[in-house]
Chains A and B, each alone.
Chain A
Amino acid sequence: MEQQQLYTVTVYSENHVGLLTQIANIFTRSFINIESLTVSASAINDVHKFTITCFSDVKALDKITKQIEKKVEVLKAYYYTEDEVISREIALFKISTEGLMAIDAIENLVNKFNAKILEVNRQYTVIEKTGVQDEIKKLYETLEPIGILQFVRSGCVSITRSKYEHLSDFRLTIDDF
């Protein structure tokens, strides 16, 4: 069995109802757990983009992306290793302001973790951190002793290290028809 590692799957599709479940089903059928999922409009007009991360291997993802592309409303699906994409997640932390003051560490937090303070009041402070999963995890561990009141983390968004959005290749081939 090939080594499992974190991959990012990007899917470009028409913006039609019901596609999300169909794509998710393809992962389910192969018993692959989706680690994170974001769906939004892409840089191309009328084209939606799914960014999905999962632990898997090349062989499985080769099959899965072809199965995804088989869906009539899907334009194209790609998969990338971590090195091939730049990925970010966003996390929001709600901490008791009192606790935060007690350790006198705000400055350090903001500078060291490159985090942002979104809101401060007497009761709580909301901190925003954008970064890779590990950075968010480290910040979480740092803040945990103070007491995290609420924590939320987004799915992953990724951009490839290639110059253009990959779908433009597909567009060229479509014009041939």
Chain B
Amino acid sequence: MKKKREKNVSISGSETLLKSLLEEGVDTIFGYPGGAIMPVFDALYDYRKELNHILVRHEQGAIHAAQGYARASGKAGVVFVTSGPGATNTITGIADAMIDSTPLVVISGQVVSSLLGTDAFQEIDIVGISQPVTKWSYQIRKVDNVSWAVAQAFHIATTGRPGPVVLDFTKDAQLATTNYYYQKCHSIRSYIPSPKANPENVRQAAELINAAKRPFALVGQGVELGNAENELRSFIEKAQIPAAWTLLGASVLPSEHPLNKGMLGMHGNLAPNLKTNECDVLIAIGMRFDDRVTGNLNEYARQAKIIHFDIDPSEINKNVSVNVHVLGNVKTTLPAVESLLKTAKHEKWIESFDIVNQEEYDKVIEPEIYCNREAISMGEVVRTVADATNGDAIIVTDVGQNQMMGARYSKWKSPRSFISSGGLGTMGFGLPAAIGAKIGMPSRTVCLFCGDGGMQMCIQELGTIMQSKVKIKIIILNNKYLGMVRQWQEMFHNKRYSETPMLNPDFVKLAESYRIKARKVSKRDDLEDAVKEMLAHNGSYLLEVDVEKKGMVFPMTPAGTSVTNVILEK
């Protein structure tokens, strides 16, 4: 084992932290200083060249930016915040990262250890608060534990099913000195990140697929997290298995791949939902049968034999009882099963998806993305951006109608190109996540679709764009409503629009005050030109589009009903 040791070099806990981060390949940190983390920021002053610190405007911005960074780059996102409110402000993003399996290492300052438990100024039990929403949460009270804790944190955050880790770092440990020594962590006795698949299960899975007449694959983010896009393509191509994706699996398969039959779930495409209850073998790959995908479990794929590929044993039989599970990283389990697969065709079955999807195209998609209603529709904005970016952009969304439209009508060619808050559904996620994504993948165009509501939940991060010169394209779909809630009110609450109409600021002026170029579009004829101008501009750009006030996202499967209960029109 390679060991690195610098003899007799006594440095502070803060500097040890920074050197340890460098050992883990960190080059970017999102953060906000404060009393209890000041020694770390002081040490950072000497490491400005190696560690690019992005100063956010609110700790929630830091955590979401780190999420966007991690999702786009595949590396762990790192956050520095102070104790007390600094730490608690990160909780929403930590919970979001936990449910969406995003690797993060959050370092929070903590009061000096002699004051712990005394309700000292800005003291909070962040380890206790964060435990239910982290993979691991640990308080560093001794300077000698710093490098060990960082090594553990990166190992835990990035291996197996990734997730967030919190290191709570007392101020005295930041200031004390130690002989620097770093050793990467490769295993922890009580932690099995990637369980091995049982060969018998691998054989049974292949047997079921080989016997299937109507196999159907459900693809989730696990494929992206395992960097197994090629393995997935090879797998479904060999046995000609039509596939559909979960929200977080949107960019796993290229949009134009002939076996890509669209999106699953409440606002997913028609064929994937209907065919779930027609297939004979359902193959779930790195997805977790979220209720937004399954609808009513009692009416979900009852006719099918179900195979579940997942790295996390606690996902097996959690929501849906499966016939065969294949544990482990899909990067290895997909090829293992594929090697036992026979080539197959399933032409008629595959074609049946296209017939159903055509019905949706005629009734829902075409009127939405080539809208001839008076006002601009949300879908045509997304389509215009998709056309102009040619499927090469990273698409980030906020939460709500903008998210569903962004997922439904964007196009992708490569993985890690769609970033959205899936499990937690955190409004305010979009703007900081887009900033993080751009910093993680500077060579790519990053487009954010955001509603007028969500935009205002982390709008302070326009300041981060200004200060750190981040170049993202912000598209506000402004319907002057909290659109998705309004849609539910229209459909399920007798059009009683309780607290959903929004009186908004002038977003263009607001952006301009942050020195961000901005434009507002209200007429269809200006849309294409504005999108082109936005993409051509060398810098961040905010495009506000006045869209239909009462636009709807269809199809829709109402919550708690069967996947086949799809509403196509008003």
- Chain A residues near B (Cβ < 8 Å): 13-14, 18, 21-22, 25, 29, 62-63, 66-67, 69-70, 72-75, 173-174, 177
Contact = CB atoms under 8 A, between A and B. Distances in A.
Contact of A174 (B136, B156, B189, B318): B189
Contacts of B187: 177
Contact of A14 (B127, B131, B189): B189
A13 B132 contact: no
B492 interface: no
Nearest to A46: B189
A75 B191 CA distance: 7
Contacts of B312: 70
24 contacts: A13-B190, A14-B189, A18-B127, A18-B131, A18-B137, A21-B128, A21-B131, A22-B131, A25-B131, A25-B132, A29-B132, A63-B314, A63-B317, A63-B318, A66-B314, A67-B314, A69-B313, A70-B312, A72-B190, A72-B191, A73-B190, A74-B190, A174-B192, A177-B192
B188 interface: yes
Nearest to B194: A177
A2 B236 CA distance: 38
Interface in B151-195: 156, 187-192
A25 B312 CA distance: 20
A62 B314 CA distance: 9
A75 B314 CA distance: 14
B562 to A, nearest CB: 22
B135 interface: yes
Interface in B297-321: 312-314, 316-318
Contacts of A75: 189-190
Contacts of A173: 192
Contact of B128 (A18, A69, A174): A18
A74 B314 CA distance: 14
A22 B127 CA distance: 11
B103 to A, nearest CB: 14
A32 to B, nearest CB: 16
A30 to B, nearest CB: 12
A30 B371 CA distance: 47
A177 B192 CA distance: 9
Nearest to B152: A72
Nearest to B189: A174
Given A63-B317, A69-B313, A177-B192, 10 more contacts: A18-B127, A21-B131, A25-B132, A63-B318, A66-B313, A69-B314, A70-B312, A72-B190, A73-B191, A177-B187
Given A66-B314, A70-B314, A14 B132 contact: no
A67 B127 CA distance: 19
B170 to A, nearest CB: 14
Nearest to B186: A177
Contacts of B156: 72
Nearest to B321: A59
Nearest to B165: A72
A72 B137 CA distance: 10
A67 B98 CA distance: 14
B127 A62 contact: no
A18 B135 CA distance: 14
Contacts of B131: 18, 21-22, 25
B104 to A, nearest CB: 15
A67 B314 CA distance: 6
A177 B187 CA distance: 9
Contacts of B190: 13-14, 72-75
B189 A62 contact: no
A152 B27 CA distance: 58
Contacts of B132: 22, 25, 29
A66 B319 CA distance: 13
A14 B190 CA distance: 7
A109 to B, nearest CB: 46
Contacts of A174: 189, 192
Contacts of B313: 66, 69-70
A47 to B, nearest CB: 9
Nearest to A76: B190
A31 B189 CA distance: 30
Contacts of A63: 314, 317-318
Nearest to B137: A18
A69 B135 CA distance: 12
A70 B127 CA distance: 17
A61 to B, nearest CB: 12
A121 to B, nearest CB: 41
Nearest to A26: B132
Interface string B121-148: 0000001100110011100000000000
A72 B318 contact: no
A66 B288 CA distance: 15
B316 to A, nearest CB: 8
B432 to A, nearest CB: 28
A72 B312 CA distance: 13
Contacts of A21: 128, 131
A13 B330 CA distance: 28
Contacts of B314: 63, 66-67, 69-70
A130 B189 CA distance: 36
B196 to A, nearest CB: 8
Nearest to B196: A176
A24 to B, nearest CB: 11
A11 to B, nearest CB: 11
A85 B339 CA distance: 43
